[in-house]
Structure 1
Amino acid sequence: MAASTPTTMTEDYLKVIWKSHEWSDEGITTNEIAATLGVAASSVSGNLNKLARDGYILHEPYGRILLSDAGRSIAVQMVRRHRIIETYLVEQCGYGWDEVHEEAEVLEHAVSDRLLEIWDDELGNPLQDPHGDPIPRKDGTVARPDGRRLHELAEHETGTVLRVSDHDPALLRYLHSLGITVGSILRVHARRDYAGSMAISQVDDDATTDAAPAVDPAPVELATVAANAIWVTTA
């Protein structure tokens, strides 16, 4: 049976587990949880056992980690808090999209529900955070749009940036220096799988139409690891 008042550790673990399933079906391993939270793998194993005993997760050694209904409810609300805070820091406080994740990690445990909803209303109840991740609604529903990783696009295919992983601030700064953000339209000029890169350019809306094709800017080389952190929609 789930504990009545989750601890900060519980909230952090449940959020990390939920996010691992948000854009992928691969789930998350004990070592990946340890790396994400900056703790020892042995501590993760013990805490996962505790979460299972408390009824927040379903987990067997070396098996997939699944959230119970109680665990999912807490995780989604923590994700909502985190993403509203990130959005508020960017829109109202002048933070860059590479600066907000760590700040939100701290504030999400401290900000009251009342203040969080005030911020949400001031922002106009946004549907996504600065990185393109959907912000869960108060009722726990999450509207995640369909997307593909940029590195999956074929040569000459075009996609609109839907979401960029916020895992690496250095990558976010690099993409910003290239002018790539949520909403950017990218065209793949060449795939260099043997070299682990692809040549891409950013194009205007009218450059994607057949009526009046425009000349793309000079392509830039983007490493596969960077392209793997970008989700696009090609619809």
Structure 2
Amino acid sequence: MYPAELSAASQDYLKTIWRLGEWEPERVTTTVLAARMGLAASTVSEALKKLTAQGLVTRPSYGAVQLTEQGRQVAVHMVRRHRILEMFLATELGYPWDEVHDEAEVLEHAVTDRFIDSLDEKLGHPRADPHGDAIPSKDGAVDAPSAIPLADVLGPALVRVTRVSDEDPERLRALGELGVRPGVTLSVRAHPTEAGALRVSFPESADAERDGEPEITLGILHAEAVRVRPAQQTS
């Protein structure tokens, strides 16, 4: 089954199921999926019945939803479209990184594979989207770097940001304003506070304004939205 043969809603379900388990194993249930998509559980349940009948998902007796190989292929195809469009919107049209997601959600269902391939070539075949999420290759391979939540880092440590979650646009905007983006090096100054907040600085920053404020504090929710790896790791 080709993605174009499915409705936009079905494509979104498959893509969301895949994304829920992208960074860490997650037991995807009807309730979890409904919460992520902002839909009623009954609506999601009916959609899953249809996707199961089409051979795109399975629902074992313990209740978790899993993609079949065919369902995964469709999901990754849609993820690739979405993230290439996000890169185009951010780098070529100047969209803020907290606004590209919603725009790409609409465009990904309207453009052709030829259009996506042309954008990919024009952009130089980027490996990640503006938030650091891996862009699947045309054949469906996903090369995501290993990374852990910043909230799990026990300082002092020097880390490089690999990904910032785009799940919450307001949080994404706030982190961007603080300068926390993929590729940025952070120096974690100390162990988390009792509330889980982290104190970090930007050792590679040449920003004069930043020099006057060498350290910032990230709350636990902000720190959990950021994934990092050791700064000396280059691949």
Both structures adopt the same fold (TM-score exceeding 0.5): yes
The sequence identity of aligned pairs, in percent, is 43
SS of residue paired to 1:192: coil
Question: In the alignment, residue 54 of structure 1 is paired with which amino acid?
Answer: Q
Matches within 5 A, 1:176-187: 176-187=176-187
TM-score by length of 1: 0.90
Task: Tell me if structure 1 keeps the 8 A contact 2:185–2:204.
Answer: yes
Q: CA deviation at 1:192?
A: 3.4
Q: CA deviation at 1:2?
A: 9.5
Q: Which residue of 2 aligns with 1:209?
A: none
RMSD of equivalent CA atoms: 2.2
Q: Which residue of 2 aligns with 1:212?
A: none
Q: Which residue of 2 aligns with 1:95?
A: 95
Question: In the alignment, residue 220 of structure 1 is paired with which amino acid?
Answer: I
SS of residue paired to 2:191: strand
Label 1:56 to 1:182 Cα distance change in 2 as closer, same or farther (>3 A): same
- In structure 2, distance between residues paired with 1:216 and 1:174: 19
Unaligned runs of 5+ in 1: 206-214
Decide which of 209, 221, 227 is 1:225's aligned counterpart. 221
Task: Tell me if structure 2 keeps the 8 A contact 1:28–1:65.
Answer: yes
* Deviations 1:88-134 (CA, angstroms, capped at 9, x unpaired): 00011010111100001111000111111111111011111000011
Q: Which residue of 2 aligns with 1:12?
A: 12
Comparing 4-13 and 153-162, the one that deviates more:
4-13
Task: Tell me if structure 2 keeps the 8 A contact 1:127–1:135.
Answer: yes
Structure 1 residue 48 and structure 2 residue 48: aligned?
yes
Task: Tell me if structure 2 keeps the 8 A contact 1:180–1:202.
Answer: no
Q: Which residue of 2 aligns with 1:211?
A: none
- In structure 1, distance between residues paired with 2:4 and 2:120: 26
Q: CA deviation at 1:50?
A: 1.5
SS of residue paired to 2:97: coil
Question: In the alignment, residue 229 of structure 2 is paired with which amino acid?
Answer: T
TM-score by length of 2: 0.90
Q: CA deviation at 1:78?
A: 0.1
Q: Which residue of 2 aligns with 1:23?
A: 23
Unaligned runs of 5+ in 2: 206-210
Label 1:57 to 1:227 Cα distance change in 2 as closer, same or farther (>3 A): same
| Count of aligned pairs | 227
Q: CA deviation at 1:217?
A: 5.2
SS of residue paired to 1:118: helix
